[in-house]
Amino acid sequence: MMKKLLFAIAYLFICFNSSYARNFYFSASGNDKANGKSPKTAWKSLNKLKNFKLQPGDTLFFKRGDIFTGTLDIQQSGTRNHPIVITAFGKGVNPLFLGSITVKDWKSIGNNKYEASLNQKVFDIYEKNYRFTPARYPNSGFLKVEKGFGKDSLSSLSLQEPEDYWNGATLRIRTIDWVYETRSVKKFKNTLIEQGKQDRYPIDRSFLDRTINGSIPVYNFRKGYGFFLEGLPNMVDSTYEWSWSNNKILLQMPKEKQPKAIRAVVYDYGLFIADNVKYVKIKDINFQQYEKAGIRGGRHLSHIQILNNQFQNIHQNGIELDSASSHCSIEGNYIKDILGRGISALEPYKLEISDNTIRRIGLVRGHGFTGVNGATGILIHNNERKKSTDSTYANHNLVRYNRIDSCGYNGIRVDGNNNILEYNVIDYCSLTLNDGANIYCYGSDPRATHHSIFRNNIVRYSVGDSEATPNNPNLAFGIYLDNNTNHVLVENNTVIKTGAAGMVNNDASFKNSFIGNNVFNCQEGLGYAEWAKLGKIYDCVNTNNVIASNNASQKALSIKNYIGPTLKIGTLDNNTYINTKSTTPIYFETKQVPENSKLHLTFEHWRNLYRQDENSTVIDASTLWAKNTLSEILVNDSKQDKTFNFPKDQYFLINGEKVDEPIVLKPFTSVILLKKQ
């Protein structure tokens, strides 16, 4: 009887709450003193929701074509059947949430410089969608570190100013090939900069101990790396530079142009979701010009849906989910011109990221982040330096059907276990940093990143960037399994034109599989490198891959061991290696006594030496039927079948047969052919 009574009470409670689900409307022409319950009695500002308690089933409607400045703070949860919804109404473009305010009352102070008062901290300055340059020295390029003193200070002979001249400036420095860091100038004297803390960017939690809670950088200051200084009013000496100090904005305009429609970014977030919130849907909202994120979710969120929104001109993250979210989805969003990361999620469970378009991420060197994991399109990562083992590493996440174009570092990084990354198109990565990839994963130890699947992705054009380094070579990969990654399947992907290996298995990564991939015109097709932990690469499977190159210097396979006499990576078989400009498609390097052996091997020499690739095939400069041909790749990067037609007697399959009939490629597949020249 008691159970029935409790059930009845619970049922009545649910009915009562659902019957009181409410709609609230917002319009730029509204009035915060109205009741907000209809478009005609709409509220005007986001401030109306401060201290307002939302209920399950509530919907907040924002009028299309209108602008709403500030932050929407969500503290309450919906339920499975009655989520809280934030969306649009009316006709026209989606409503715009804006993190900047108009700056007025400019005063000319001569030399095309203007000043205005603003007692809110300013993060960025925009004129429409054009971002002004924070005042910097030098105005372009980098100064060089002459000598680094650990993580404490650096010396540069380019700095000859009086003592304390640069005190208080922001220091933006490349400390290693894959990292820019932001510090402050604590003290300047005699070419020497003593670094101090910065408070703009969070430190990746995996590196907090290394930085003593942010008091020092992640990496040492190194000779030959580059830096610039930023933010002081005395640096404002070029068109479209600006500074903010002592509640005054100073900017320099072009000749005969006055500051109009200038906006200052002063808000951190467009929409903030508090810890432990559940069942919230955000749809059809445009977020622009925020400092930290368009949407930021706290810890332990669940069932949050972020659908069909736009994010543009945001400094740190388009979308950010803090640790341990579960069953959330980020789908159909358009994200562009973000200085830090497009989408970032720390240790999520069953997060789906799908059908998003992400463009131009992390393309301003030194801005948007400090330390590791910046300039990345999609980031799923872990706090890997935990004091105790737990099961909260990122796991069972799905990343699919995203299109990513132009990232400073990684296109997609997915750490953790049992994740699936499929049907993504990732173009042009590692544009402002080195040693990154279009698809990347890493583990601090073997427990962190394992048993994931990367399949049917289209990966093109990984470039690498060596500016502000000691003339280091550009180094960028297509698919990169970094240290301690294990039991990862890389299958049926297409990789085109990378500055380093198209696919690479780095030191201490083991039991990974590269199966059925097409790799075209990469400096190295498939690479293995052991340089720190002897014997920790083993039992990897490499079968049914087609690796084609058109340059004599390119290698189909590269195996390097810098610390031992041999490297037994596992199994290689049923692969096809194509390079009609070379007879040595294999590079093999191993440590010998007294020096390394660096061997450029023919296919037969390779098989005799390594006892692998017994059933593999080579098409090289000595292959008679392939004389006067070059390899070519056809790609279908769409969701529909695609048909390719061919002129007669021009194309050959890799088995030597002529292509006389059309070829139909399934979605997210490719084929490598040979074409007569």
- The string of pLDDT tens digits covering residues 135-144 is 999 999 999 9
**Mean pLDDT, the chain, whole residue set:** 95
Average pLDDT of the segment spanning 641-668:
96
Which pLDDT does position 592 carry in this prediction? 72
8 Å CB contact between 385 and 363:
no
What is the per-residue pLDDT across 288-303, written as a single tens digit (0 to 9) for each? 999 999 999 999 999 9
The pLDDT value given to residue 570: 97
pLDDT at 18: 47
Strands 59-63 and 84-89: parallel
Q: Across residues 304-326, what is the average pLDDT?
A: 98
* 138 CB-near residues (< 8 Å, 6+ apart): 228
Is the pLDDT at 386 greater than 90? The verdict is no
- Burial of 222 from C-beta contacts in 10 A (0-12 / 13-18 / 19+): middle
**Is residue 6 over pLDDT 70?**
no
Residues 239 and 115: their CA atoms lie apart, in Å, by 14
For residue 256, the tally of other CB atoms under 10 A from its CB is: 6
- For 306, the enclosing helix (H) or strand (E) is strand 302-307
Q: How confident is the model at residue 390 (pLDDT cuts 50, 70, 90)?
A: low
Residue 8 has pLDDT above 60, yes or no: no
pLDDT 10s digits, 443-491: 999 999 999 999 999 999 999 999 999 999 999 999 999 999 999 999 9
Say whether 48 sits in a helix, a strand or coil.
Answer: helix
Peptide bond into 162 cis (omega under 30): no
Residues linked to residue 143 through DSSP beta bridges, in sequence order: 227
N-to-C CA span, the chain: 87
Cα–Cα dist 346/392, whole Å = 10
**Residues 6+ positions from 57 with CB-CB distance below 8 Å:** 17, 18, 20, 21, 22, 78, 79, 82, 83, 84
Structural domain boundaries in the chain: 1-42, 101-263, 627-676
Q: Is the pLDDT of residue 1 over 50?
A: no
pLDDT, one tens digit per residue, over 199-211 is 999 999 888 889 9
Task: Identify residue 162 by its one-letter amino acid code.
Answer: P
Task: Give the pairing of strands 269-273 and 107-110.
Answer: unpaired
- Percent with pLDDT over 90 in the chain: 90
Total residues belonging to the chain: 677
pLDDT, tens only, 98-122: 999 999 999 999 999 999 999 999 9
pLDDT tens-place string over residues 15-72: 444 456 899 999 999 999 999 999 999 999 999 999 899 999 999 999 999 999 999 9
Write the class of the CATH domain 627-676: mainly beta
Q: What is the pTM of this model?
A: 0.95
The pLDDT, as a whole number, for residue 590 is: 86
Of the candidates 533, 559, 439, 547, the residue with the CA atom closest to the CA atom of residue 490: 439
Average pLDDT over residues 320-334: 98
pLDDT at residue 14, as a whole number = 47
Sorted by sequence, the CB contacts under 8 Å of residue 502 that are 6+ apart come out as 459, 477, 478, 479, 495, 496, 519, 520, 522, 524, 525, 526, 547
CB 495 within 8 A of CB 545: no
Alpha-carbon distance of 145 to 327, in angstroms, equals: 47
DSSP element (H, E) containing 604? helix 603-610
Alpha carbon distances (Å) from 527 to 115, 144, 559 = 55, 33, 6
Is pLDDT above 70 for 593? no
User: CB neighbours of 560 closer than 8 A, spacing ≥ 6?
Assistant: 527, 528, 529, 530, 531, 567, 587, 588, 589, 590
C-alpha span between 409 and 92 (Å, rounded): 36
What pLDDT was estimated at residue 16?
Answer: 45
Structure confidence at residue 384 (pLDDT): 81
Q: What is the pLDDT of residues 528-557, one digit of tens each?
A: 999 888 889 999 999 999 999 999 999 999
pLDDT for the residue numbered 12: 44
Which string of DSSP letters, residue by residue, matches 117-184?
E--S---EEEETTEEPEEPEESSSS-EE-SEEETTTEEE-TT--PPTTTTTT-EEEEEEETTEEEEEE
The one-letter amino acid at 437:
A
Q: If you compute the radius of gyration of the chain from its CA atoms, what whole number of angstroms results?
A: 28
> Is there a contact between 494 and 522 (Cβ–Cβ < 8 Å)?
no
Predicted confidence at residue 276, as pLDDT, reads 98
pLDDT exceeds cutoff 70 at 7: no
Q: Output the DSSP codes for 377-398.
A: EEEEE-----SS--S-S-BS-E
Distance separating alpha carbons of residues 321 and 343, to the nearest angstrom: 8
Question: CA-CA distances (angstroms) from residue 56 to 52, 277, 670?
Answer: 13, 11, 48
Cis bond before residue 565 (omega within 30° of 0): no
Over residues 640-650, mean pLDDT:
96
pLDDT given for residue 4 in this prediction = 54
Q: In terms of C-beta density within 10 A (0-12 exposed, 13-18 middle, 19 or more buried), how is residue 162 classed?
A: exposed
Mean pLDDT across 347-363: 99
Cα–Cα distances (Å) from 230 to 120, 167, 186, 188, 469, in that order, read 19, 11, 13, 14, 19
Which residue in 452, 555, 448 sits closest to 501, CA to CA? Answer: 555
121: its two tokens: 């901290």
Average pLDDT for 552-569: 91
445 Cβ contact list (under 8 Å, min separation 6): 384, 484
Question: Do 408 and 435 meet the contact criterion of CB atoms below 8 Å apart?
Answer: no
Residue 540, CA distances (Å) to 486, 504, 519, 546, 571 in order = 9, 12, 18, 17, 6
Residue 424 predicted with pLDDT over 60: yes
**Model confidence band, residue 189 (pLDDT cutoffs 50, 70, 90):** very high
Q: Cα–Cα distance between 488 and 480 in angstroms, integer?
A: 11
Mean pLDDT of 173-188: 98
